[in-house]
Amino acid sequence: MPRDSPCYACAVTRESIRSALDWGELAPLRLRARLVADGVFAGAHRSARRGAGVEFAGHRVYVPGDELRFVDVRASMRHERIVVRHFETETERALRLVVDATASMGFRSKLPSAKGAKLAYASVVAAALARLALAAGDPVGLEFVGGGATVRRVPPSGQGETFERIVATLEATRAEGDARRSPNMLEDGLGVALRGARRGSAIVVLSDLLDLPDGAAEAIASLGTRGRPLCVVQVLDPEEATFPFEGPVLLRAVESGPAEPSLVQTDGPSARREYLARLDGLARVWRDALSRHGGALVRATSADDPVAVVREILRAIAAPITGEAATADETHRSEGQRDAPRGGAR
């Protein structure tokens, strides 16, 4: 994607991105994550692990590594794609969280609906997912893309202090780095450990998807092989999702430093249609890449209710194929995205 494209030069007009995260209404993280998890969690529930167990749980798209004995020939003919039977068990499944902490994730617009910086919102969702998984007895690990030299990963663990470690790590994380200029940043974040995650481990990636290197969609989608449910969550600021500017506007690439700013001057209304079309095109690229590996794309903004987003993620990593409407991806659409003009962010 060209560095001067609307999707790259996000609508940051009046102030530079600070490495110190703007938590806004999303602080304190520990309390907010618990409230979100409590809003999702209702009573005892089974582990979301899918595998060869005792209770049939539905069908899903075949991905490389699935055992051929679970292919359902009749269902495959009906859906016109290879699908496998999967079963629900009570055994644990590791949850692997990957949070994009590059500079663009530190953006928070001045719109009243923006609850906090994108990284702060992603942190709330990640911490809530961690709390839910740990409550179900499943181990949770945390990885980062970007975040500077001081960022620390949290190895998968189901011990009682894991939630506190994840919260403390997220609270200390700064939005730093440019994955386009440092392609190894993405590979380091995904890591050998994540690629070697055991079969059945669920992987959730939270990112704005705006400034990742070429080939990032396929690289991340490939994590969904070997029977690992994968969900990529695109987190945008409501300003980025709707491009509400009127009149002349100066856009700056949020990952460019003050010594080398990347600026684009344009007219808001005339640029809006192309910007939203490119944003929608970016989502299609990710959705297509993910669907080829049995993954799912969820789209959200920092104005959305985190409870609804977490529920959508949980459905995405465990949703079987049902009827003609079944797809490999489910997308969350905020009120602002529903109201966007045709061709806009949906």
Same domain, 293 and 155: yes
Same domain, 55 and 183: no
- Does residue 242 sit in helix, strand or coil? helix
Please say if the pLDDT value at position 142 is more than 90: yes
- Say which CATH number the domain at 178 has: 3.40.50.410
* pLDDT tier at 194, thresholds 50, 70, 90: confident
Q: Is 309 exposed, middle or buried (0-12, 13-18, 19+ CB in 10 A)?
A: buried
**What letter does residue 291 receive in the DSSP assignment?**
H
Asked which of 90, 120, 144 is the last residue of a domain, the reply is 90
Please say if the pLDDT value at position 135 is more than 90: no
Same domain, 112 and 67: no
Same domain, 86 and 190: no
Domain of 81 in residue numbering reads as 51-90
Chain segment 249-305, per-residue pLDDT in tens: 777 665 555 555 566 777 778 888 888 999 999 999 999 999 999 899 999 999 999
Same domain, 42 and 60: no
Averaged pLDDT, 105-121: 93
Q: Find all residues with CB under 8 Å of 298, minimum gap 6, and list them.
A: 231, 232, 233, 234, 309, 312, 313, 316, 330, 331, 332
Q: Flag whether 345 is in a domain.
A: no
**What's the total number of domains in the chain?**
2
Same domain, 212 and 327: yes
Q: Flag whether 18 is in a domain.
A: no
- Does residue 326 sit in helix, strand or coil? coil
Chain segment 31-85, per-residue pLDDT in tens: 767 677 676 654 334 444 444 444 566 777 887 667 788 889 888 888 888 988 8
Same domain, 205 and 68: no
Mean per-residue pLDDT of the chain: 76
* Least-confidence region, from 180-189, 211-220, 303-312: 180-189
Q: Flag whether 147 is in a domain.
A: yes
Same domain, 175 and 75: no
Same domain, 33 and 146: yes
pLDDT at 62: 80
pTM over cut 0.85: no
- Residue of 207 and 44 predicted with greater confidence: 207
Please say whether the beta carbons of 240 and 8 come within 8 A: no
Structure tokens at 7: 């999707």
Same domain, 151 and 294: yes
Q: Flag whether 7 is in a domain.
A: no
Q: What are phi and psi of 335, to 5 degrees?
A: -60, -40
The DSSP secondary structure of 174-216, one letter per residue, reads -----TTT-THHHHHHHHHHHHTPPTT-EEEEEE--SSPPTTH
pLDDT at 150: 74
Chain segment 3-26, per-residue pLDDT in tens: 444 443 343 333 333 345 666 666
